[in-house]
Amino acid sequence: MYKIVRKRALNPTVTQMEIDAPRVAAKAKPGQFIILRVDVDGERIPLTVAGTNPAEGTVKIIFQTVGGTTARLQQKNEGEYIEDFVGPLGRPTHTEGIKKVCVVGGGVGCAIAMPVAEEFHRLGAEVTSIIGFRDKDLLILEEEFKACSDRLIVMTDDGSYGRHGNVTVPLGEMLEAGETFDMIITIGPLIMMKFVTLAAKPYGVPVTASMNPIMIDGTGMCGGCRLTLNQDGKKVTKFACVDGPEFNAYEIDFDEAMSRGRMYTDFERHAYEEACNLFKKA
């Protein structure tokens, strides 16, 4: 059992928790993830490590309430426990040799992007962060990004905060003006990562995308998190849990990934409604 040490609402649908998990806290690095179960009968879900405090033995997770499991997790309070918390899993973010990086996060994906930006900042790289949200009410982690970025650009689709537009607008402006980066790292909705990749491609800047497909065991056994990469003209199957979650964005078949991601949308919504009804009755 793993104790919830702290809980904080970041916006109406996104919650941050700090979990007492000393072994995970001692080993986890930016870019890696954990798999948890809320209770003994719960399903396994992956969540990216949003930060660690090895001295305190805690691991930070940030999640959006979209399905039944995240609804159950959101109902947990400080001092209560979750059943399982396994990790760290996946490969850490590649940082070697990167002196100038652009981190592009969208929505709740900013929870994954933030520790990556923090790590590059800690290593002395020049960090530009571009974060985007649908509107001001969904904004999260602005102060955290400010603290680890040499330059921060906040975008909202409706213009209610920061600049009006999506994250590809300032990225395209910088690249067109001749600015270069050793790496662009994009983390967020698949459609956003696809267009970030398309925006960067004419300029030849390396792009890494963090993939978070459906995942069950986190060891490559189930095959649920498989992705198709196009490498040297050949289609290659990789698994996000063991080969990723970060991949060369130019190789990813984003359209296939989006199609697979939509397969369980109705099931997810139904599970969320069932969970909400259960809490109302309780």
pLDDT at 200: 96
pLDDT over 90 percentage in the chain: 70
* Rounded (to 5) percent helix, strand, coil in the chain: 35, 35, 30
- Same domain for 74 and 105, yes or no, is no
Is 65 contained in some domain?
yes
Q: Can you give the residue range of the structural domain that contains 169?
A: 93-200
Is 224 contained in some domain?
no
pLDDT at 214: 75
Residue-wise pLDDT for 220-278, tens only, equals 777 778 889 998 889 999 988 888 899 999 999 988 888 877 666 554 555 445 545 55
pLDDT over 70 percentage in the chain: 92
Q: How far is Cα 223 from Cα 81, in angstroms, rounded to an integer? A: 29
Instruction: Say which CATH number the domain at 58 has.
Output: 2.40.30.10
For the chain, how many structural domains are there in total? 2
- Same domain for 99 and 185, yes or no, is yes
- Same domain for 81 and 38, yes or no, is yes
- Same domain for 81 and 124, yes or no, is no
- Mean pLDDT on 65-92: 92
To the nearest whole number, what is the mean pLDDT of the chain?
A: 90
- Choosing from 200, 224, 239, the residue where a domain stops is 200
Task: Tally the C-alpha atoms within 13 A of residue 8's C-alpha that lie toward its C-beta.
Answer: 9
Question: Which is nearest to 195 in space by CA: 155, 249, 157?
Answer: 249
Instruction: Say which CATH number the domain at 175 has.
Output: 3.40.50.80
Residue-wise pLDDT for 175-223, tens only, equals 999 999 999 999 999 999 999 999 999 999 999 999 987 777 777 777 7
Is 271 contained in some domain?
no
Contacts of 281 (CB under 8 A, 6+ apart): none
- Same domain for 57 and 98, yes or no, is no
